[in-house]
Amino acid sequence: MPHPLSALGVVHTLISLPPVVAGLYSFARFHRIDVSMRAGQLYLAGLTLSVLTSFGLSSTGGLNPGHVLGALALLAAFTGALVVPRLQFLGRLRPHLQTFGLSFSFFLLLVPGINETLSRLPVGRPLAAGPDDPTVQGALLAWLLLFVFGFALQVRQIVVSHRAQRRAP
């Protein structure tokens, strides 16, 4: 087995799955991660636990790019969920920035996950050798394009929703 998981690695992996499911559910149901909904709250809590448990993992023996992405994901999520909604001066930009922060955190959450999954599965014959492998690079490019396209759709929905609210009596 090329990259066996430690006990903490297994725990981290199990903890990392609920925020992915909650995020996907939120996108499918609400077209965004909405922290006023239970799925959005589960996403934030799960993301936090996932990032915290990742700090105990490191193949290099110290801080690695995955840790930095996790910290950025937390910063983006909590800025979008807690800070942006309170900044009244942002006006009509608030829903866009809130949606971006939470969606970007989801994007960042899966970047190390894509690398780790492709570098470990299938067991014994992983699809990729590591983050520099063309398979991982291609998957990350596809993930980036999906994020950009998805956020563009979210912006469109916000604009359409605001227009509908202005027209309503």
pLDDT digits (tens, 9 = 90+) for 17-47: 999 999 999 999 999 999 999 999 999 999 9
Strand, coil or helix: 36 = coil
Q: Tell me what percent of the chain is helix, strand and coil, each rounded to the nearest 5.
A: 75, 0, 25
pLDDT of residue 112: 92
Radius of gyration of the chain (CA): 18
Give residue limits of the domains in the chain. 7-167
Run of H or E including 78? helix 65-78
- Where the chain has pLDDT below 50, the residues are 1
